[in-house]
Amino acid sequence: MEKILQSAQKQLQERTAHRLSHDTTSVRSSHWTFTDHACRVCFGRVLERVDKHHVHEVRCAECGQTAQGEPTTICCCGADCGTLGHALECFRNPDVSPANPQEIMVRERLVGQGDDMS
């Protein structure tokens, strides 16, 4: 199981590095790190660029969606669901497998967890 997880992580990192290296914006000269958030457009992994301990920009590793600010700017847990507020939350998949390889998933917030966008 450990080898499968390592292989999946390596493939994701290689795919992300390939996409970022072919971008014509300032992305190539920046240091991007993975977050535990999923893009609200395509459910891809959200990356962040930190400058002096402050998140400067976020970007989806899959579709390229970008925004200034925190990951919640483009992730599912930051999506406004109308009268439901922020009803979704991003979370780390506790059981990554070949059948379910996504490291970050999205679920409906449990009732009583509030609207804190954590």
Give tens-digit pLDDT for 19-65: 544 444 444 445 889 999 999 999 999 999 887 777 789 999 999 99
Is residue 38, in this structure, part of any structural domain at all? yes
79-115 per-position pLDDT tens digit: 888 888 788 899 999 999 999 999 999 998 876 555 4
Residue 69 covered by a domain? yes
Nearest to 77 by CA among 64, 68, 69, 86: 86
The span from the CA of 111 to the CA of 102, in Å, is 25
Residue-level pLDDT at 16 = 60
115 lies in some domain = no
CB half-sphere exposure, 37, CA atoms < 13 A: 25
Residue 17 belongs to domain spanning? 2-22+31-108
Rounded to whole angstroms, how far apart are CA atoms 35 and 25?
21
* Amino acid (one-letter) located at 35: T
Q: Is residue 113 part of a domain?
A: no
How many separate domains does the chain show? 1
- Give the pLDDT of residue 30: 57
The pTM for the full model equals 0.64
